Each structure stands twice: as C-alpha cells, then as structure tokens.
Chains A and B, each alone.
Chain A
Amino acid sequence: MKTRVLLLCLLSAAVVGASPWLGRSLEGDTGRFILENLRIPRVLMAVLVGGTLSLVGACYQTIFANPLAAPSTVGTTAGATLGALVAVVAAPALGISLASGLPMIAALAFVGALLVSLAIAAIAARGKARVNDILLAGIAISLAAAAISTGLQFSADQMQLYAAIQWTLGHLPQVGYRGVVMLLPFVAICWVVLLSQTRALQTLLGGEERAHSQGVNVPWLRSLVLGVGALGVGACVAWCGPIAFIGLIVPHMVRMGVGASRRVMLPMSVVLGAGFLTACDTVARLIVVGRELPVGVVTSAIGAPLLVWLVVRQGSSRGTHKSS
C-alpha cells in the first residue's frame, strides 16, 4: 500500500506542478506575468479547494456511514450557494463590486452552509432518523435552496444575472494571490481540525453505538465535522461557486486506490483532491480553443456518471451481501 500512496502523491504533485506550464506558450514578460500572477495562484486555489471538498466529502461519508454522502448530496453546497447568491445579487445593489465583496460572499456562503448543516445535524440527532433519511433531507434542502436561488436570479438585473450564472457554474477565478491568502485560513482550520479526528472517524466505521462504547463522543464528533465542513465548503463555494462532485468522487478514488482506513484515506483525499481539481481545471482551460469552460462542467461530466455507477453498485452489493 505504501507504494500506491507514494504513486498517488507523485501523480498529484506532477499534475499540480505541470498545470501552470500547459497551454499557450509563455514567452516574454507577458508570458511570465500570466504564469506568475494568473496560472500559479489559480493552481494554488485548485489545490486548496480540491483538497478541502474531498476531505469534507470523506468525513461526511464516515459520519453518515454512506458512500453517497458529500457536501453536494447532503445540501451543504446548496446552502452555501444560496447564501453566496444572496451576496452576489445584493452586492451591486449595495454599491459593492463583486471583487471587493468577497468577504461578504464568503460570510453568507458560510452562514448558508452552516444553516443547512445544522438542519441536517438536527435530523441526524433524532434517534429515529436513518442515514438514508438524512440524505433524502439533504436532497430536499438542496432542491429548496435551488428553487430560492432561481427566484433570486429571476429578480436580478442583467448584470447581476450574468455574474450569478457565471458563478453558479463553478470556476476557479483569477483572484491572484490575494484570493489564495484569504481562503487559506479557512482551509487550514478545516484540514487541521478534520485530520485531527482521524482516530475517532476510524472508530466510527464499526458503527455508531460501537464507537460510543469504545469512547467516541459521537454527537460531538458529528457536530464538529458538520460545523467545520460548513466552514470549509462555505469558503470554497464563496470563491469558486459550487464545484460539484469533487467531494463525492475523490474519496471513492482514494478508497479504490489505497483502501478504506481513514488514517490513510483522509490525508490522501486532500492530496488526490488537490491533484484531481487541478487536472479538471487544466482540461477546462484547454479543451475548447480560445475559451475556457467552467471547471464545474468538467467535474460534473465525470461525477454524474460515477454517482449513477455507485448507486447501481451499492444496490447490487446489497443484493449479494455475504451471509454467515
């Protein structure tokens, strides 16, 4: 397994290292400017966002004991999107430009993500709620948030509407090092806190009640993961819009590559998430000559079929579950 871990780390590092150099040739001062001030910060943003969304996804899959749980399926992303959209639509009305309104967008995205997480946590805390109920509640909340978001866009003027649509497609913006530095503290808190819970999350794999008997404070762990996950996802959504499926796909890729032990899976989700989003963004940047696709389009194109495959696979594995 150590070889696989090393290979995946090298692969991610290679993708991250190579990405800024791919594309139109970088010659002269202009090329240097593009490389240093546009592409490198953009790749750094992909590393932070990809790592965070993947790590939160892996943690959600553990606390909900469901491989389909991810920020996008339990409603956290939808809550953050709604909060951020309120800011995107409201900012110009308040005379604030979108670029300088980033803190407001981040704050409202976090509030949106947190409110949804609290709602999901409240449902999860009810003894009778099963894991699938939580996912269904997440889907219902996502749909409700999407409906309100559409209403907001409907009431916006043309400029606001364009900004909102562009933002909801999910993209890695050209915010330079300023954006990276502003996002970094949120991401750092998220990574440090969630990775510090690796042992508790590993113990939770044996079942909620078993983990309780082995000393894990399960309600506290779940609240911590949901709260810190909301902070990380909210911050990422505020900067980049709702980039779908990263939190769902990457933990599965890691699981297939290096196994399900959280001790390896959680840090490797960060590593592979960083590499995967960078790769998707590079594809989005290069696939159409002369134009860039939003990275969310590429992640969705890969993630949606994978989600269907996972649902089918889960159904068939239930049907053929080994009995003793």
Chain B
Amino acid sequence: MTSLELANVSVRARGKTLLRDVSLRLQQGEFVALLGPNGAGKTTLLRAALGLLPAEGSVLLDGQPVREMPGRERAAKLAWLPQQSAAAEPITVLEQVTAARFRFHETHHAAEAGALAALDAAGAAQFAARHVNELSGGEAQRVAVAGMIAQETPLLLLDEPANHLDPAQQIELYRLIARLWRDGRGVLCITHDVNMLRFVGESAVRVVGMAEGRVRFECEYGAPELPGHVGDLFKVGIEIVQAGADRLLVPSGRPA
C-alpha cells in the first residue's frame, strides 16, 4: 500500500520559515483534508511533498526520499492538482490530458486512449476537442482532475480544487474527488471550506488544521471538537447549524 510520510519537515525561504517541524502521513485509501488560513503553509507542504522544495526533515514516498526519486517513478505514485493549471498555449484538452501520461512508456495511440478514459471518468469527455484556454473555470478544473486520473497514481494531492468555482461546481467537484477516493486512492486535499467535506463522506475524513507553518490539530470530520478547533484556527466564532442530516460549521462573526 503506497504511503507518503512527512516527518519533522521544515521549509525556509528568503529568511522566512514557511513550515516548522510538520509531520503528516497519507496512505492509500485515506482522505486527509488540510485546513487553514491563507499563509498557513498548506501549499508549501504539498510542494515539499512533491519534492519541489528543499526541506529539512524527511519526505518519504513508499520509504524513498522523494527528492531523490527518478521523476517517472515519483509520478507513478503521486499526482498533483495545483491551484492554477492553465496551459501556456492553446492546445486541445485531449492533448493536455495525453501529456499528463508522460510517466508511461507507451505509444501515442495508447496515451490518447488512456487520456480519453480519464476524461470520461472525470465527466469531461465532451471537452476533448476544445482548446484549454476556452474552458470556463469549472470545466478547466474538471479537465485538470482528468489529468490527475490519467496519471493513474495511488495518491493524489489537491490544492484548493474548488477555488473560484460556483457552489454547484464545487459540489460536483468534491463528489468527483470522493469517487476517486472510494476507488482506493489516497487523497490529501487543501480546502478553505470544511463544510464541503460532507460531499466526500464525513466519517472517514481526517481533518488537519494548519496555521503559521505548524500543524495545530488533527481529528476526524465528525469529531465533536472540530468546530472549536476550526474557530481557533481561523480566529472566528463558529456556530453549528443542523441542515437535515448535515452538520454545518458557520462563522458567527464573533471572535473565537
């Protein structure tokens, strides 16, 4: 079972400490939601996990230091959805998703077949012939998820995947991510909106709160202490609103 393990990871850049002594583990089959205010170090953590940043401590992917792994070997285990994923030039959606299969040694025909299957799984097959810079925000994000699926990895890292999407698109996207998780992948997902996790499947989701480069709390989504932790993390009061079967955490406007 593939795992990603960060142990006592610190990242410093330009005299600033972006991550301090962070430890986190993601295993295949787990869903970890990473929560925290802007500047908490969440994206830095993902970039360190991908080996994009030099970090103190250890970042191990299946027991191997991630920065020392050959690119294709790392890409066979770990896929990433960055906050912005627009292509530099007007290539088609199919060409972009096909390119995401770089890690495979295969013919172009096989790569295209894999890309079409991934687009289908992401519900984006209808965009295949369109240019990537003609897509709306929601369509583009769906195509980006298709790129991750095309990579066929057991672990997925998602950086605020629902950013800039309208509520319907957010729900649709979280349902898609939940499907990928239920298919057996491990998911580490940065989010600002803890309530979106109810579209994933509350009980098994682990929530990790970060602020000022440190891990502040870790608990299950359904845990009774979560509202208090979230309030402390964002320094706001949190009210619990019961909407049918769902428990919603709503900022009250009062200080925590």
Contacts and interface: CB of A to CB of B under 8 A. Distances in A.
B75 A209 contact: no
Contact of B88 (A205, A217, A263): A205
Interface string B37-58: 0000000000100111000000
Contact of A210 (B82, B91, B103): B82
A209, A213, A259, A263: residue with the most chain B Cβ atoms closer than 10 Å? A213
A214 B99 contact: yes
16 contacts: A200-B102, A205-B88, A205-B89, A207-B82, A209-B52, A210-B82, A212-B50, A213-B75, A214-B99, A214-B102, A214-B147, A215-B71, A215-B75, A215-B103, A263-B108, A324-B140
Nearest to A215: B75
B91 A207 contact: no
Contacts of A213: 50, 52, 75, 78-80, 82
B164 A217 contact: no
A155 interface: no
A205, A210, A214: residue with the most chain B Cβ atoms closer than 10 Å? A214
Given A216-B71, A216-B102, 5 more contacts: A199-B99, A209-B50, A211-B102, A213-B79, A214-B79
Contact of B82 (A202, A203, A205, A209): A209
A206 interface: yes
A164 to B, nearest CB: 39
A79 B51 CA distance: 35
Nearest to B111: A199
Given A214-B99, A214-B103, A214-B151, A206 B85 contact: yes
A204 to B, nearest CB: 8
A261 interface: yes
A65 B88 contact: yes
A259 B98 CA distance: 16
Contact of B52 (A212, A215, A217, A260): A212
Contacts of B223: none
Instruction: Rank and list the top 6 A-B pairs by shortest CB-CB distance, nearest first.
Output: A324-B137, A215-B75, A260-B89, A215-B103, A213-B80, A215-B72
A322 interface: yes
Interface in B121-145: 133-134, 136-138, 140
A200 B47 CA distance: 21
Interface residues of B, number: 39
A193 to B, nearest CB: 18
A203 B91 contact: no
A261 B75 contact: no
Contacts of A215: 71-72, 74-76, 102-103
A65, A202, A210, A212: residue with the most chain B Cβ atoms closer than 10 Å? A210
A236 B70 CA distance: 35
Interface in A181-209: 199-200, 202-203, 205-207, 209
Contacts of A261: 91-92, 95
A263 B96 CA distance: 12
Nearest to A128: B14
B18 to A, nearest CB: 14
Nearest to A218: B71
B90 A260 contact: yes
B169 to A, nearest CB: 10
B85 A203 contact: no
A62 to B, nearest CB: 8
Contacts of A202: 91, 95, 98-99
B238 interface: no
A255 B164 CA distance: 31
A212 B50 CA distance: 9
Contacts of A205: 87-89, 91, 96, 99
A189 B151 CA distance: 31
B88, B103, B133, B140: residue with the most chain A Cβ atoms closer than 10 Å? B88
Contacts of A211: 102
B90 A210 contact: no
Contacts of A210: 80, 82, 85
Contacts of B75: 213-215
B96 A206 contact: yes
A212 B99 contact: no
Contacts of A209: 47, 50, 52, 82
Nearest to B80: A213
B100 interface: yes
Contacts of A217: 70-71
Nearest to B84: A207
A1 to B, nearest CB: 10
Nearest to A212: B52
A94 to B, nearest CB: 47
A212 B96 CA distance: 15
Nearest to B134: A322
